[in-house]
Structure 1
């Protein structure tokens, strides 16, 4: 799961690295367009994460009807969200880019990127759902294989289409989106093929988890909405902050655009460890394991989370300290801003990883609404208004803007850990209706 997620977020880093050769304006355009598309992709990923836990519960119960119901419901929800999101981008995307872009050139490049990236959104609506099904059922290598196949396609196609090699025209920023679209087509094709080969018997299982599919879909939504709302809120808050970052000075915004994918990619090590913990907890609870078994598992998982946080901190250090080699085409001022992020990034993984273990364990037990409240209120009552205050009114240094991510984790820490240590999650019984 970690390797798959690193490759998923790594494609953003690769696109940023390839586009960085075109200059700060192109990089800012990609960051702006990706922030807008990220609202829709965030909603898709949010419901995919909820489906992942539901699939794990179904797999742990050993009920094929439950497994089929989780897959069909999750796929339906994902496709509807993807189509609705594309409609919203079509209607409001150009106006939003025009209002947020720092220059006409950045706005034009962002529109070109977003027009092509819409194809990626449709592919991810299917691909993320299938990945969640396989993860929940314990086949975590299949999503990894799909990204191993798609990554070379993305890199090669992006290089060719950005710069115009092999007789193709140079599409610039839009070429990066074209490479991503080709890659996601390969990914979805592989996952669909494996689903037909491994789980075709699910299509022959009669009946649904409830009396009919509409009732099954509704039950899936009732379970998924608090989890999805948590992820949607996090994604929306992140992208709202990114749009606010667009008001920073150009070199500061370019530095934030570069470090944000690295925060996602390296941070994935800790986040996927926590998500895997949640999946296994959901399976153990579905099997009716004892509290002692759950305690032993969570204790070992928590120790692993701190090792993962240390690895993430080392990666952040490597990126910041080698900025002048990684991004030699950018100005020295942009690279100095990257280096200034180091103190915050060395501390961030530890409270973030521990909070993630708590949140995913509580979600797996069905305590989804409490987790949702912690995330939502921390984001919208602290991080977003604090970011707006720091950038739009106080004109603080970009270092202090980035440090708000760390303060948010400190704010959530006591609420998460107090709830987990109460131990009620170990006595969860899933609704069998």
Structure 2
């Protein structure tokens, strides 16, 4: 049976270096920026409605972020598994990874929507600083749930394309959806062209329309270019149930790492709600920028991890792995420098970007600059280590480093700083930097041991 429509890695191509990382990373980075930019766009458009609307959107996004974070976590795990399958050249492995990833992600998305429906309103009522913030947050969350459901499919398909090296396909899908998001949000927030003014909820409506277009494009591309994948007989572990179970076994430590990071971030965001209104508004504004600009370093590290997984799947020699990682690491430093420049631009232009906000809110944003200039460098180096170790299957050790740093340091330190010490927002934000410095020796010692170069990732 012909499976020529299914891509496989060409083992005869030249030895990879930073140029191959760049070729994979730039579409992934732009796609991730557009993804996280959904929240930035919503925050920017909603900021014209004032601090109350902005706080409501931040609270609702934090609650939805728990479920969306779980979806993204398993999608990141699948991306590594897809790269390993692509490296082996086994079409059964490729099909099994895609089908298992879709099954798991849809189950998580539907379960998450159920949890939001049951507990979301009571959580908003507990955390909202005022009744008006709570009402607006509930309106935003009700619509944003559709975004969560769409991402449960879209993120899996994006991971499939990324793992096979076709990182431009997810980028194209987001390029289609971005203008729809902006135009629809503006129209629905302010009620242009005779439509009702939905306010905060209108921003979520625009995002939902954009995600629908994005997922439709990815599905169309998959069926058009890889229809032969559906005809490949058999499953990686013999039966579909066993294949899903094996996929879960590989994915759970990686997903647990990302879920832990997302939950820790969202818990911290909920704690931020207890800050002064101006400080909370500033934290709500800077958090999406940290995600958006930070994706430059993170996607560089993920692209490097994809290539490492492909090389390990093809059983390439250790010397080649060493040369590649050294080249990728040098590129990570320049990626971190680019992130620092973007952070500086945002903080220094706060008076122009957010002219409608109170001057105290803009002053808090400017005060974040010293922390943000240093944050990208240890974070980027840690990301290279983490993605390389995950690509080799050393997922549990990576999980432990992240989980313990988050739940034994960042979350309790944030609670103490905000709820007990009443520290300024800049000191609260600096805990992100201290967390990266805490993880730095644990990651680098493990990578320098070199066990990852001898890993067998094919079972």
Pairwise same-fold verdict (TM > 0.5): yes
Find the counterpart in structure 2 of residue 251 from structure 1: 278
1:52-63 alignment runs, 5 A limit = 52-63=79-90
Q: Which residue of 1 aligns with 2:413?
A: 386
Residue 156 of structure 2 corresponds to: 129
Deviation at 1:430, TM superposition (A): 1.6
Structure 2 Cα separation of the partners of residues 58 and 267 of structure 1: 28
Select which of 297, 301, 315 maps to 1:270: 297
Cα deviation for residue 78 of structure 1 reads 0.2
1:6 Cα offset (Å): 0.8
Report whether the alignment pairs 1:295 with 2:329: no
Aligned to 1:332: 359
Q: Which residue of 2 aligns with 1:223?
A: 250
The structure 1 segments of at least 4 consecutive aligned residues displaced by more than 2 Å after TM superposition are none
In structure 2, stretches of 5+ residues that fail to align are: 1-27
1:75 aligned to 2:102? yes
Equivalent in the alignment of 1:39: 66
Cα distance between partner residues in 1 of 2:227 and 2:401? 40
What TM-score do you get using the length of structure 1 for normalisation? 0.99
Deviation at 1:12, TM superposition (A): 1.0
Aligned position for 1:109 = 136
User: Which stretch shifts more, 3-12 or 411-420?
Assistant: 3-12
Q: Is 1:213 aligned to 2:240, yes or no?
A: yes
Counterpart contact for 2:304–2:388, Cα < 8 Å: yes
Secondary structure at the aligned position of 1:169 is classed as: coil
Indicate yes or no: 2:433 matched with 1:406.
yes
> 1:431 offset after TM fit, Å?
4.0
Once the two structures are superposed, residues 195-252 of structure 1 have per-residue CA deviations (whole angstroms, 9 ceiling, x without a partner) of: 0011111100000001100000000000000000000000000000000000001000
Report how far residue 10 of structure 1 moved.
Answer: 1.1
* 1:341 matched residue in structure 2: 368
2:306 maps to what in 1? 279
What per-residue deviation string (whole Å, max 9, x for no partner) do you get for residues 295-327 of structure 1? 111001000000000000000000000000000
Long gaps (5+) in structure 1: none
Q: Is residue 113 of structure 2 the alignment partner of residue 50 of structure 1?
A: no
TM-score w.r.t. structure 2 length? 0.94
| Cα deviation digits, residues 248-289 of structure 1 (max 9, x gap) | 010000000000000000000000000001001000000111
Tell me the equivalent position of 1:239.
266
For the Cα contact (< 8 Å) 2:67–2:112, is it kept in 1? yes
Q: Residue 183 of structure 2: which of 117, 138, 156 is its match?
A: 156
Tell me if 1:179 matches 2:215.
no
Aligned length: 432
Q: Are the counterparts in 1 of residues 102 and 156 from structure 2 also a CA contact under 8 Å?
A: yes
Q: Which residue of the partner structure matches residue 93 of structure 1?
A: 120
Q: Give me the whole-angstrom Cα distance separating, in 2, the residues matched to 1:406 and 1:118.
A: 32
Partner in structure 2 of residue 16 of structure 1: 43
- For residue 397 of structure 2, the aligned residue among 333, 356, 370 is 370
CA–CA separation in structure 2 for the residues paired with 1:54 and 1:349: 27
Conserved? CA contact 2:84–2:458, under 8 Å? no
Residue aligning to 1:310: 337
